[in-house]
A = this chain, B = another copy of it.
Amino acid sequence: MTRQAAGATREKLLIAASDVFVEKGFRDATVAEICRRAGANISAVNYYFGSKKALYQEAWRHSFAESIAAHPQDGGVSEAAPPEERLRGQVKALIERIADESSKDFFISQMEFANPTGLLHEVMKSELIPLREKTLSVVRELLGPEATEEQVALCETCILGMCMHPLLMQRARQRLKIPEAPVVIHDLGAYIEHVMKFALAGIRAIRGQCRISRGPHR
C-alpha cells in the first residue's frame, strides 16, 4: 500500500477515535471500528498509541484543544471591557462551545463519569481549574469587594450550571435520538441573553443582601 504523509495516520486515528468514542462510549467503541474509519490497519492504534486507553486520552486532549481554539474563553471581549461585558463573553463562549457540533470534549468528559479512566484527575488541574479561575475573578468584580469567597463560588457555580446542563441535555437529545425530550433552546443568542439576565439579577440580589446585612443594626 502507498504510505501516508508523516503523522497523517496518527491524526486520522485521533479524529476517528473522538467520533467513535462519542458515539459509543469507551467500552463499546472498538479499536477495529476506529481503525476502519481512519482507513488504517487494526494494529495501528497499538502502534501509534500503545493501547486503546492511551488513544482515548489523547483523543480527549486533541478535542479539547480544538474546541477551546474555536471558542476562546473570553468570547472575543477585551480585558479592558466592563465586567458585565466580560462575563457575557465568557457565557457566550462556553454556550457556543458546547453547542458546536464539532466539539467532542464535553461528551468524552461525560463518558468519563460512566467509565472513569483517570483522565479527569489530570485534566481538572491543568485545564478546568484555570478556566474556572477566570470566571471567578469576573464574578468577584461584579459582586463587589464586600462579597465573601463563598458567595463568589456559589454564583460561579450557578452560572456554570445554567450553561452546562441545558446544552448538554440538548446535545444528548440529538446524539441519542430522544424525541421525547423537550427542545427548550431554539436560539442560542436568546439563551445566552436569558442566562445573563438570571446571572446579573442573581448577582445583584446577592450584592443587595451584602449591603443590608452590614447595616448599623448589626
Contacts and interface: CB of A to CB of B under 8 A. Distances in A.
Report whether over half of chain A's contact residues are helix, strand or loop; otherwise say mixed.
helix
A153 B180 contact: no
B162 A166 contact: no
B154 A191 contact: yes
B157 A166 contact: yes
Given A161-B163, A178-B124, A201 B195 contact: no
16 contacts: A27-B115, A28-B115, A111-B113, A113-B114, A116-B176, A120-B176, A121-B180, A154-B184, A154-B191, A154-B194, A157-B166, A161-B162, A197-B205, A197-B209, A198-B198, A200-B205
Contacts of A185: 154, 157
A202 interface: yes
Interface in A172-201: 172, 176, 178, 180-182, 184-186, 190-191, 194-195, 197-201
Given A180-B121, A182-B153, A166 B161 contact: yes
A185 B156 CA distance: 12
Interface residues of A, number: 56
A112 B28 CA distance: 12
Contacts of A65: none
A111 B116 CA distance: 11
A25 interface: yes
Given A178-B120, A198-B198, A25 B162 contact: no
A195 B158 contact: yes
A26 interface: yes
